[in-house]
Amino acid sequence: MISMRNDFRIGDQEYRFFKKRDILAYLIFFAVIIFVIFSFFGNNTGDKITVLIGGKKTYEFDKNTKGVYALKNDANDFLMNLVIEENGIYIRDSACPLKICEKHGYLSRNFDAIVCVPQKVIIRFSENEKIVEDLKYDIITK
Amino acid sequence: MQNRLNSRTKSHGSRIVLLAMFVVMSSIIYVIEVYVPVPIPLPGFKWGFSNSIVLIVLLVFGSKEAFSVAVLKSFLGSLLAGRLFSPVFFIGFTGGIAGIITMIVFLKKFRNGVILTSIYGSFINNIFQLTVSYLFFIKSEFVFVYLPYVSVIGFAAAILNVYIAIGGIKWMENLNIR
């Protein structure tokens, strides 16, 4: 008979919603999340906007360089337009059929990121790193 | 009384029929979830409420049956959603397999609580999905930036899944389902 008490039986098996021995596992769960948060966001000043395509840092923009930037891959295929505004960024005109990157909307916080799996693109705020050599700026409007 | 459900599902034929129903139910929820908005716009990310059906099967039937339903749900759900063998399918499929194995180990081997089992099923599912995205698609460790987001949402969904599953089992008992 099932009840909403902590313990219940199904057939010949007895189960509990919570057990004392679970506490360690709950602590590990929250520790992993906190570790990941500090790993990625701990020292991020968010001065730059970094674009990684296929795991390779392809573009880097200053947060203050307002404009619309066409992002292209190594084969020069158009992927999407990155719009940088005064207080944040967003994506428009994505070539991806799912257009999930456009659904991220307007991002402005240092820990925000745009991830597009089909086009292998990550756009994130980053700290002030040295500029990569092969930047491919393609400014449409400014 | 307490053995009512097991005695009713003893017959091999009725077990097959029930399991087939659970596969269909979980696949339908899977397909509906594809179109339900989620707070995180990440390909393949869903609430994961179809796992409540897998949890019902794990609690009522056992590990092998739950594993089978989880695998078939991924295939049938992806087929119905038009995503079979797409990158999103592989991300979700590996996550689903890792999630059900974790739930089986936590519930049947370690004898943990049902809520922790569901939470870790969701957590490992998310870790595997992000790992597959990292290894085969995105190739940047920054994809793990989503782990805290998906884990917190998965935490809430996993707790809800437990209560949905318990409600479903009570419903089966009340309806005298064989």
Residues in A touching B105 (Cβ below 8 Å):
none
Confidence at residue B29, expressed as pLDDT on a 0 to 100 scale: 94
Question: Which has more confidence, A78 or A136?
Answer: A78
3-state secondary structure of B2: coil
Confidence at residue B159, expressed as pLDDT on a 0 to 100 scale: 96
Query: What would the DSSP string read from start to end of B88-153?
Result: HHHHHHHHHHHHHHHHHIIIIIS---HHHHHHHHHHHHHHHHHHHIIIIII-SGGGGGGHHHHHHH
ipTM for this prediction: 0.79
Confidence at residue B4, expressed as pLDDT on a 0 to 100 scale: 52
Q: What whole-number distance in Å separates Cα of residue B87 and Cα of residue B135? A: 12
Residues in B touching A104 (Cβ below 8 Å):
41
Q: What is the pTM of this model?
A: 0.79
Tell whether A35 is within 8 A of chain B (Cβ).
no
- How deeply is B16 buried, as exposed, middle or buried, from its count of CB atoms within 10 A (0-12, 13-18, 19+)? exposed
Q: How many interchain CB pairs under 8 A, A with B?
A: 116
| Closest to A51 measured CA to CA, from A77, A76, A73 | A73
Confidence at residue A132, expressed as pLDDT on a 0 to 100 scale: 42
Q: Which of A59-63, A90-94, B9-13 has the lowest mean pLDDT?
A: B9-13
Tell whether A70 is within 8 A of chain B (Cβ).
no
CA B60, chain centre distance (Å): 15
Question: Which has more confidence, B41 or B178?
Answer: B41
Confidence of residue A81 (pLDDT cuts 50, 70, 90): very high
Residues 6+ apart with CB under 8 A from B108: B62, B63
Q: Which of A39-48, A52-61, B115-124 has the lowest mean pLDDT?
A: A39-48
Tell whether A24 is within 8 A of chain B (Cβ).
no
Residue A32 has pLDDT above 80, yes or no: yes
Find where tokens 């189960």 sit. Answer: A15
Confidence at residue A129, expressed as pLDDT on a 0 to 100 scale: 52
Find where tokens 């360690």 sit. Answer: A24
A99 secondary structure, DSSP code: -
Tell whether A100 is within 8 A of chain B (Cβ).
yes
CA distances to B43, B87, B119, B160 from B152, in Å: 17, 24, 10, 13
For range B4-13, the mean pLDDT: 63
Confidence at residue A139, expressed as pLDDT on a 0 to 100 scale: 47
Residue type, B11: S
Confidence at residue B133, expressed as pLDDT on a 0 to 100 scale: 87
Q: Which of A3, A5, A6, A10 to mutate to test the interface with B (most CBs of B within 10 A)?
A: A10
Q: Which of A115, A123, A125 to mutate to test the interface with B (most CBs of B within 10 A)?
A: A115
Q: Where is A141: in which H helix or E strand? A: strand A139-141
Residue A2 has pLDDT above 80, yes or no: no
B2, B42, B114: residue with CB nearest A16 = B114
Average confidence score pLDDT of chain B? 88
Residue A130 has pLDDT above 50, yes or no: no
List for chain A the helix, strand, coil content (%; round to 5).
15, 40, 45
Q: What percent of chain B has pLDDT over 70?
A: 92
- Two structure tokens written together for A68: 């619309």
Interval B53-70: pLDDT, tens: 999 999 999 999 999 999
A22, A25, A117: residue with CB nearest B87 = A117
